[in-house]
Amino acid sequence: MRISIFGLGYVGCVTAACLSREGHEVIGVDVNELKVSLLNEGQCPIIEKGLPELIRAGRNQGRLSATTDVSEAIQSTTVSLICVGTPSQANGSLDLSHIKQVSQEIGVSLKEKESYHCFIYRSTVLPQTTRTVIIPVLEEASGKQAHIDFDVCFNPEFLREGTSVHDFYHPPLTIIGHQTARGASTAAELYESIPAPIEYVSYEIAEMMKYVSNTFHALKVAFANEIGTICKAIGVDSYEVMRLFCMDTKLNVSPAYLKPGFGFGGSCLPKDLRALVYKARDVDVYAPVLGSILESNRLHIQRAVDYLVRKRVKKVGVLGLSFKEGTDDLRESPTVVLIEQLIGKGFDVRIYDPEVYLAKLHGANKDYIQREIPHIATLVSDNLPDVIQSSDLLVVAKALADFDRDVKPFLGDKPVYDLVRIRPQLTGMPSGYEGICW
Ligand SMILES: NC(=O)c1ccc[n+]([C@@H]2O[C@H](COP(=O)([O-])OP(=O)(O)OC[C@H]3O[C@@H](n4cnc5c(N)ncnc54)[C@H](O)[C@@H]3O)[C@@H](O)[C@H]2O)c1
């Protein structure tokens, strides 16, 4: 393919050199004349392991060149990758000036072009930027229509400086945010030789994915450092702790606990978190990441209360009471906290939870129920249709029932507020359906 790459920084240089090694003809574009002339001399404008060799080879084989001339680059290629910088502004917001500028210049050159062109944005931008900023600028400057006259894709970059050449050839996955099949298949052609799955998604998911990944990486660093500091203060080998921690790929370093849903609870998580945060304070370690987790959980439960208050319903049916499926354990259940708040605000609450219903009649939990939450226990029923029918709104707090078989037939047009994502696909959900964080 003939490819132009806008922005010869870390991402642009690595992408240009690696794609030229794969046999593509690549022309780099930058406003910085020094970078352009260095690349044309076969020299590497940045320090990056393995890159000088690739750039020299690309130059020698005549597959890699650079220019400051936008029009030349657009006219002589069919695909452009946009890798210009998106720095922070003083207030933390994203500076889109380079993205807007380059899109404007590209659009003007596109005006003169008769044949097809596909623009693949790799710069990190917040969700909606491709749709509401980039495409309007391209359309305005070119006088052409996106998705018809040209295509736009958003393809986030996951390379890490220092190992970026290796990362280019070994990505965990390739994500192509797209609007047309033509754009998606053009973008996919670039990665034909890369042994990684390709995921085709909307622009917004592709844009968000990059932020979620980097935020999580940052969270992991801060988490490990706070744990390390507490360990050091109490004389525990943090390296050994984290080595063992990472050996658990079932619950710790895994997809477990990473699904958006309701708050955590139960007899262990809140208690153990409180004890560790208290211990940190006791040894004078300020650990704001760990210290903010319980507050985040409390706010999440409050979010559900606020939603129900806003709905202005009176009778609420709650499906599930214990802190998770398969247990009657009610200790620190976020649903108990939710229901207590609802009762306090005058809601008429009915609860369906067969596991708790049985436990309140007999079993080890009977005492706890009678002692701690007698006011809630009396509201628990084992009759699901009855709970649904006597409510104005149904809250799903535990996936106790098959939604389509057991719930939907009794719903009518009642709204449903889902805290657990009762089924992965939301197609066919009633019109009054709302998820807590999806
Ligand atoms: N550096 C990384 O490791 C990394 C990894 C993944 C994603 N990203 C994202 O990729 C983007 C680029 O990052 P980078 O580190 O390569 O940036 P960079 O600052 O190193 O390079 C950006 C280049 O764009 C050029 N440029 C600016 N305006 C231009 C224009 N109108 N036309 C042509 N060139 C122009 C600049 O001169 C510069 O050479 C950013 O959005 C960044 O967040 C970076």
288: pLDDT strictly greater than 90: yes
- Helix, strand, coil abundance in the chain, percent, nearest 5: 45, 15, 40
**Distance of CA 81 from the midpoint of ligand 1 (Å):** 11
pLDDT value for 331: 87
Task: Report how far apart the first and last C-alpha atoms of the chain are (Å, whole number).
Answer: 39
Q: Which two tokens stand for residue 147?
A: 């998705």
Could you tell me where in the chain the CATH 3.40.50.720 domains are found?
2-201, 296-435
CATH classification number, 2-201, choose in 3.40.50.720, 3.50.50.60, 3.60.21.70, 3.30.70.270: 3.40.50.720
364: pLDDT strictly greater than 90: no
Q: What does the pLDDT look like over 382-398, one tens digit per residue?
A: 999 999 999 999 999 99
Query: What fold does the segment set 296-435 form as a domain?
Result: Rossmann fold (3.40.50)
Residue nearest to atom 12 of ligand 1 (CA): 85
SS3 of 54, please? helix
Beta strands in 245-333 (DSSP E): 315-319
Q: Which two tokens stand for residue 211?
A: 């932020």
**Distance of CA 97 from the midpoint of ligand 1 (Å):** 12
∠ Cα 119 122 123 (to 5°): 120
In terms of Cβ atoms closer than 10 Å to its own Cβ (0-12, 13-18, 19+), residue 368 is middle
Per-residue pLDDT band for 377 (boundaries 50, 70, 90) equals confident
CB 17 within 8 A of CB 51: yes
Of 70, 79, 102, the C-alpha closest to 150 is: 79
pLDDT value for 145: 98
* Average pLDDT over all residues of the chain: 95
Residue indicated by tokens 């050994």: 240
d(CA 171, CA 159): 8
For residue 379, what are the CA distances in angstroms to 339, 395, 418? Answer: 10, 14, 20
Residue indicated by tokens 């005492």: 367
Assess whether the C-beta atom of 157 lies below 6 angstroms from ligand 1.
yes
CB 152 within 8 A of CB 146: yes
Per-residue pLDDT band for 370 (boundaries 50, 70, 90) equals confident
Q: What does the pLDDT look like over 24-71, one tens digit per residue?
A: 999 999 999 999 999 999 999 999 999 999 999 999 999 999 999 999
Assess whether the C-beta atom of 36 lies below 6 angstroms from ligand 1.
no
Whether 437 is catalytic is no
Q: How many CB atoms lie within 10 A of CB 269?
A: 17
Q: How many CB atoms lie within 10 A of CB 317?
A: 27
Q: What does the pLDDT look like over 159-214, one tens digit per residue?
A: 999 999 999 999 999 999 999 999 999 999 999 999 999 999 999 999 999 999 99
pLDDT value for 323: 87
SS3 of 356, please? helix
pLDDT value for 267: 87
Ligand 1 atom with the smallest distance to the CA of 32 is 37
Ligand 1 atom with the smallest distance to the CA of 86 is 41
**Distance of CA 87 from the midpoint of ligand 1 (Å):** 9
SS3 of 85, please? coil
Angle between helices 51-60 and 10-21 (to 10 degrees): 50
pLDDT value for 216: 98
Identified catalytic residue from 83, 246, 268, 437: 268
Q: What does the pLDDT look like over 314-359, one tens digit per residue?
A: 999 999 998 888 888 888 999 999 999 999 999 999 999 988 877 7
Q: Which two tokens stand for residue 134?
A: 């980039």
Of 134, 140, 151, 17, the C-alpha closest to 86 is: 134
Per-residue pLDDT band for 150 (boundaries 50, 70, 90) equals very high
363: pLDDT strictly greater than 90: no
Its pTM stands at 0.94
429 backbone dihedrals φ, ψ, rounded to 5° = -75, 150
Q: Which two tokens stand for residue 126?
A: 């917040």
